[in-house]
Amino acid sequence: MKYSHENIVKVSFLLLLVLLVFTSSVGSAFCTATSDEASLKLSEAESALRRAFVAVLDAERAGADVSGLMLELNLAGGNLTWAQNAYRSEDFSGVAGAADQCSSLADKIVSGTSLLKGSALAEAQDSEWRMLAFSGIGGLAFALVLFLVWVMFRRSYSRKLLGSKPEVGSDA
Amino acid sequence: MLKLGDFRAIFLVFGLAGVLLFASPSFGLFLHLPQGEKFSELWLLGPEHMAKNYPYNVTAHADYFVYLGVGNHMGSPMYYGVYLKFRNQLEPLPNDTAGAPSPLVPLYEYHAFVEDGKSWEVPLTFSFSNVSYGMNQSLVGSLSINSVAFNVNKGTSWDDENRGYFYELFVELWIYGVESDAFQFHDRFVGIRLNVTGNV
């Protein structure tokens, strides 16, 4: 079988064309996959961060000191900021990683808040009871002491009134 | 001399005042007094951290620097979305009266969490590249914010009155609503007018 020079050139050209088409389609598919993956990770991170904020807000409403958690939220928010802005500028490398980091920080915050919220609620309840006890017992004791003072005062007042001699005025 | 009835009244008043005094710490559990006005602050400060010397005449390939800040007086911790947008003279700003944001797509955004009574502030750098001029028009190809480059491809005409090619970099404040589970425009925006010129 003879291969002419022309045929070899034709076959080589065809192979090169197939290779080019294959490379571009794989490259495009890879880029789309990267972009899709980044977009998915970003929306996961956004949801995770919102959940974390709601959990921190709940803990704060229960009376917990959330200063530390707010710092952690800002750290997670920083990762999301970086990831979103990189995505917008079409630089997809590192977006998924930063979004993942945001999600894991957010999850850590959520698990931290449940403990904090529990202890804050217990502390708040204790404090409420203490306050109610102070008001109830204190108010009652004060009223009782005042009543006793009143009884003693009334007795001494009556005694003083009965013991006093009537003054008789004279027109002389 | 005071009569016994007068003393009784004095004792009653004194007793009532004392009982109220003891009960006062518990009032907070049942009574919810109205809070002050709730609001948020949004600011841009110049490079010296003061409200002056803002970038105005800007050129391509030079870095400009401002401070961006948010203050929370909403009565509880807040989650803010801070969106940076870039417009030419024809594009709309947010609508103050309708409380509507600018329809422009944000270029850059921050996620800021601020406790009540506290503030959040970051340095913001920006620069322009691929700026071209011709036929009384200028075209900004690319805007970098905090070293992230965005293709903007925005043009503006020569402003004869103010003598420049004017654009505006502005910031909108959005707030996360827990009930709606979405960000809403918080009716706050601030911006700096920029004359993108090659003749500085």
Chain B positions in Cβ-Cβ contact with residue A60 (cut-off 8 Å) = 76-77
**Are residues B17 and B69 located together in one domain of the fold?**
no
- For every residue of A84-119, DSSP letters joined together read HHHHHTT--TTHHHHHHHHHHHHHHHHHHHHHHHHH
- The DSSP call for residue B91 is S
- Model confidence at A167, pLDDT cuts 50, 70, 90, reads low
Would you state the structure tokens that stand for residue A93, as one six-digit string? 């490398």
Which of A43, A88, A93 to substitute to test the interface with B, most B CBs within 10 Å?
A88
**Are residues B2 and B44 located together in one domain of the fold?**
no
- Interface residue B10 vs chain A (CB under 8 A): no
**Are residues B130 and B48 located together in one domain of the fold?**
yes
Min Cα distance A85 → chain B (Å) is 6
Cβ neighbour number for residue A157 with a 10 Å cutoff? 14
Q: Which of B4, B110, B114 minimises the CB distance to A81?
A: B110
Q: What is the pLDDT of residues B160-182, one digit of tens each?
A: 888 899 999 999 999 999 999 99
Q: What is the pLDDT of residues A134-152, one digit of tens each?
A: 888 888 888 889 889 988 8
pTM: 0.76
**Are residues B88 and B46 located together in one domain of the fold?**
yes
pLDDT of residue A169: 63
Please give the residue range of the domain that contains residue B51: 39-196
Whole-angstrom distance, CA of residue B32 vs CA of residue B12: 28
**Are residues B152 and B73 located together in one domain of the fold?**
yes
**Are residues B61 and B15 located together in one domain of the fold?**
no
Whole-angstrom distance, CA of residue A38 vs CA of residue A86: 10
Q: Are B108 and B143 in contact (CB under 8 A)?
A: no
With 60 as the cut, is the pLDDT of residue A26 above it?
A: no
Whole-angstrom distance, CA of residue B172 vs CA of residue B119: 16
Q: Which of A67, A78, A142 minimises the CB distance to B115?
A: A67
**Are residues B3 and B81 located together in one domain of the fold?**
no
- Count interface pairs A-B at CB distance under 8 A: 94
Q: What's the whole-number average pLDDT of chain B?
A: 90
**Are residues B87 and B4 located together in one domain of the fold?**
no
With 50 as the cut, is the pLDDT of residue B132 above it?
A: yes
CATH of the domain at B144: 2.60.40.10
**Are residues B159 and B140 located together in one domain of the fold?**
yes
Report the domain count for chain B: 2
| DSSP H or E segment with residue B175 | strand B166-177
Min Cα distance A160 → chain B (Å) is 12
ipTM of this complex prediction, to 2 decimal places: 0.81
Which of A70, A117, A135 to substitute to test the interface with B, most B CBs within 10 Å?
A135
Mark which residues 117-176 of B lie under 8 Å from A by CB: 120, 145-146, 148-150, 176
Class of residue A120 by CB neighbours under 10 A (exposed 0-12, middle 13-18, buried 19+)? buried
Put the strands of the sheet holding B182-196 in their side by side order. Answer: B57-58, B182-196, B166-177, B78-88, B108-114
**Are residues B81 and B154 located together in one domain of the fold?**
yes
- For every residue of A133-166, DSSP letters joined together read HHHHHHHHHHHHHHHHHHHHHHHHHHHHHHHSPP
- Model confidence at A160, pLDDT cuts 50, 70, 90, reads confident
- Model confidence at A21, pLDDT cuts 50, 70, 90, reads low
Mark which residues 32-51 of B lie under 8 Å from A by CB: none
A63: left (phi over 0), alpha (psi -120 to 50) or beta: left
**Are residues B96 and B16 located together in one domain of the fold?**
no
- Interface residue B14 vs chain A (CB under 8 A): yes
Angle (deg, nearest 10), helices A5-61 and A95-163: 0
Q: What is the pLDDT of residues B53-82, one digit of tens each?
A: 999 999 998 999 999 999 999 999 999 999
**Are residues B20 and B63 located together in one domain of the fold?**
no
Chain B positions in Cβ-Cβ contact with residue A53 (cut-off 8 Å) = 77, 79, 113, 176
Min Cα distance A154 → chain B (Å) is 8
| B148 to A61: CB separation less than 8 angstroms, yes or no | no
